[in-house]
Chain A
Amino acid sequence: MSLLTVNTAEIVKKQFLFKLKANIDAFSSLVWIQLLAILFSLGGVASQGSHSDGLSISIKYFSSDVVIAFTMIWGLVTAITITTRPYRYFDFSFVTNRITSSLSNIIYLFTASVLGGVTAMLAKGLLIIIGYLFLDFQLLDFYSQSFHVRDFMIGTIAAVLYIFFISSIGYFIGTLVQVSRLFIVGIPVLFIGSMFLDGMMQREPMAMKTLQFYFMETSLFIFIVKVFISTALFFAASISMLNRMEVRK
């Protein structure tokens, strides 16, 4: 019997720092994914055209929307990856249990979301500079809407929360797959099947309603509450499932 008393917070902290180092390669993939997204964004994220009075007008919109979307996908994949067996086995190098392991994973995912969200929002500057230096954007035609630090901060907070929310879904999916391999097939079948069912019943797809629940929310405070509750539910469900698993399963 060990005479050492263990402190949960200390263990979680140690595990988090270890995971930050051990999974550092996830961040290099973040860089490449964001660079790829910037490349795609250079063609414009949306365009509009009009022809009247002998005048043809073509508008291209530029923003880092694609970078944020790619970063969300990166968050999903990263979260699924850390639930896989090799990553979970890292934990057994430490004094650990399912709770501390999951808590350190959650903190790791939150850190990754912060880094992903901030860099995704900062990518707008790189987009402008590449367009200006290499793609001959006509500067006279390159107007910017008024841009404020407050807006940037709101955008960054929302981007971080979106990525963290998607990560929690990824963590939940990863956990389900660890519980039973049937979910590898079951989750896509459930998702696509529900869309078909909604289509046949001629009603708005459930997935669309879910997206609207988050994307159509115009109050930042309520959005934070929604994301916080949803994320907490996904992580709580994941932890409770992992708690039931045998050690090294």
Chain B
Amino acid sequence: MMLSILPVAIIIFIVVIIIAIIMKGKKLVTIKFTYWLLLIYIGVLIISLAAASFVIGNSTKVREIVLEKDIRENRLELEKQLSSGSFEQMDANYLLKQSSFEYHQPSMKMVISGHFTPRIFIEKKEQDDGVIDAYAFSSGLYIDGVNFTEKITPPTFALNNNQFEIYPPDNHEGINISMMKNEFTITQFIGGGASFFEPIEHNESIIYLRLPKSLTIQNEQDSYFLEYVHE
């Protein structure tokens, strides 16, 4: 039963009370200011609650809460699958972005810009097809167990003059989220109060590159570490 039923029940209750007062012969117009103030205030609260349930219902999604344990297990599973090269078995939900670049040179430089230290896996293809496939994966963004993964911007890949560049996600505006929280009188008994220690579960993206068999990378930066799968 959703919240929208409650205002209807309260409205019926108020109407019954008003009818009872009128039936008793008391005129509402004699009620002094405070009565009116109270009546209007309660009316506004009830209407607001009813309207709020429509506002929330129309414009937002009530989301499933994911347990912190499951979020961490998913992350470990993602890293395990990528590091073992089980690329085909990957859950598509983890994929943030895919780009392909034609490249026929025997080697290339790799540069990562900004304060960005993603985990990078390299898979060598079985043939020299002249195509670099770049993927960005993420185990998601969870706040208090609510999934906000679609808010994550993927990193950018670029290939210029024998140099493969990875740019951090363009998040200069950041993510601003307003969340309704249950009152302490509710969370005290049913749980689900906001954790003020680690409410945000977010890890850096994981980059997965599939390179032609004979292509080598000139690792010029100390800021990243390449992990080769199947080797």
Q: Spell out A's residues near B (CB within 8 Å).
A: 24-25, 27-28, 31, 34, 44-46, 48, 50, 52-65, 68, 119, 121-126, 128-129, 131-132, 137-152, 154-156, 158-159, 162, 215-220, 223
Cβ B185 vs Cβ A162 within 8 A = yes
Cβ B183 vs Cβ A119 within 8 A = no
Q: What is the bound-complex CA distance between A231 and B115, given in angstroms? A: 58
Q: How many whole Å from B114's CB to the nearest CB in chain A?
A: 6
Query: Could you name 24 residue pairs across A and B whose Cβ atoms are closer than 8 Å?
Result: A28-B33, A50-B202, A53-B168, A56-B175, A59-B200, A61-B180, A63-B181, A63-B182, A63-B184, A68-B183, A121-B185, A124-B52, A126-B49, A132-B55, A139-B55, A143-B61, A143-B179, A143-B180, A146-B63, A147-B3, A154-B186, A155-B186, A215-B184, A219-B189
Q: Taking each of A27, A62, A65, A128, which has the highest tally of chain B beta carbons within 10 Å of its own beta carbon?
A: A128
Q: What is the bound-complex CA distance between A48 and B180, given in angstroms? A: 13
Q: How many whole Å from A97's CB to the nearest CB in chain B?
A: 29
Residue of A nearest to B197 (CB): A48
Number of interface residues of B (CB under 8 A): 70
- Cβ proximity bits B122-159 to A, threshold 8 Å, 1 near / 0 not: 00000000000000000001011010000011000000
Cβ A142 vs Cβ B178 within 8 A = yes
Main secondary structure of the interface of B (DSSP, over half): mixed
Cβ B52 vs Cβ A128 within 8 A = yes
Cβ B181 vs Cβ A45 within 8 A = yes
Q: What is the bound-complex CA distance between A62 and B127, given in angstroms? A: 56
- Other than the given A65-B181, A129-B51, A131-B178, 4 more pairs (CB < 8 A) read A50-B202, A60-B177, A125-B7, A148-B3
Q: How many whole Å from A123's CB to the nearest CB in chain B?
A: 6
Q: Spell out B's residues near A (CB within 8 Å).
A: 1-3, 5-7, 32-35, 37-38, 41-42, 44-46, 48-53, 55-56, 59-63, 65, 114-116, 118, 141, 143-144, 146, 152-153, 168-169, 171, 174-186, 188-192, 194, 196, 199-200, 202-205
Count A/B pairs, Cβ under 8 Å: 225
Q: What is the bound-complex CA distance between A141 and B176, given in angstroms? A: 7
Cβ B45 vs Cβ A126 within 8 A = yes
Cβ B177 vs Cβ A52 within 8 A = no
Cβ B174 vs Cβ A223 within 8 A = no
What residues of A have a CB within 8 angstroms of the CB of B50 in the complex? 125
Partner of B177, one of A27, A55, A59: A59
Cβ B188 vs Cβ A143 within 8 A = no
Q: What is the bound-complex CA distance between A146 and B152, given in angstroms? A: 23
Cβ A57 vs Cβ B181 within 8 A = no
What residues of A have a CB within 8 angstroms of the CB of B176 in the complex? 58, 60, 138, 141
Partner of A28, one of B34, B141, B152, B177: B34
Partner of A125, one of B45, B189, B200: B45
Q: What is the bound-complex CA distance between A54 and B174, given in angstroms? A: 9
Residue of A nearest to B173 (CB): A56
Q: How many whole Å from A189's CB to the nearest CB in chain B?
A: 30
Residue of A nearest to B205 (CB): A53
Q: Taking each of A151, A156, A218, which has the highest tally of chain B beta carbons within 10 Å of its own beta carbon?
A: A151
Residue of B nearest to A158 (CB): B185
Q: What is the bound-complex CA distance between A24 and B1, given in angstroms? A: 35
Cβ B169 vs Cβ A145 within 8 A = no
Q: What is the bound-complex CA distance between A58 and B171, given in angstroms? A: 12
Known: A54-B114, A139-B59. Is A145-B183 also a contact (CB below 8 A)? no
